[in-house]
Amino acid sequence: YQVMFSDNLRFDRPRTRMIFSADCLDLPIKRSPQELQRFLAHAPANILVKYRDPESLATRIKHDLRQMPPDTWPETEALAARLCISASTLRRRLAEEGQTYQGLKDSVRKELAIVWLAEPQISFAEIATRLGFADASSFYKAFRKWVGSNPGHYRSLILGEAS
């Protein structure tokens, strides 16, 4: 639960609630009515799992990135050429989905890092190398930005070593 939500969990309370920042309510709606219907068709399971539109450009790009080592990921222009669109069209279409190419790459790196952190025999330096970071300290900084804790603490949580 701490990995999925936060350290601020309380059980056996009179109410079940989730607290989030009120400024989220002011964010623009970026989905169509048809996408809303697809989302609601899978509720409530997808409320606790980040919603993914399997048809989206971002989903297709993330799928492709997962199939390649991070050091071979294409730059924006090469990706756009592979998709037979211009780089500006790629950026615009991702922006319409609320995404950026760099954000997608970071998301896949984070997913891979979490998978590899669950393997205690893989060192932090090896994970950093696999993810294409210049050194372990760059990986540490990026991981802290993504997750809010350092890789060592996160590994101890997912391996059940934290008290």
- Domain ranges across the chain: 103-158
pLDDT given for residue 2 in this prediction: 58
Check whether 87 has a pLDDT greater than 60. Answer: yes
Mean of the per-residue pLDDT values of the chain: 85
Assign domain 103-158 one CATH number from 1.10.260.40, 1.10.10.60, 3.30.420.40, 3.40.50.150: 1.10.10.60
Cβ 146 vs Cβ 139: under 8 Å: no
Looking at the chain, the whole-number percentage of residues with pLDDT higher than 70 is 85
Which whole number is the average pLDDT over 13-22?
A: 75
Range name among 40-44, 46-50, 95-99, 117-121 with the lowest pLDDT average: 46-50
Check whether 129 has a pLDDT greater than 90. Answer: yes
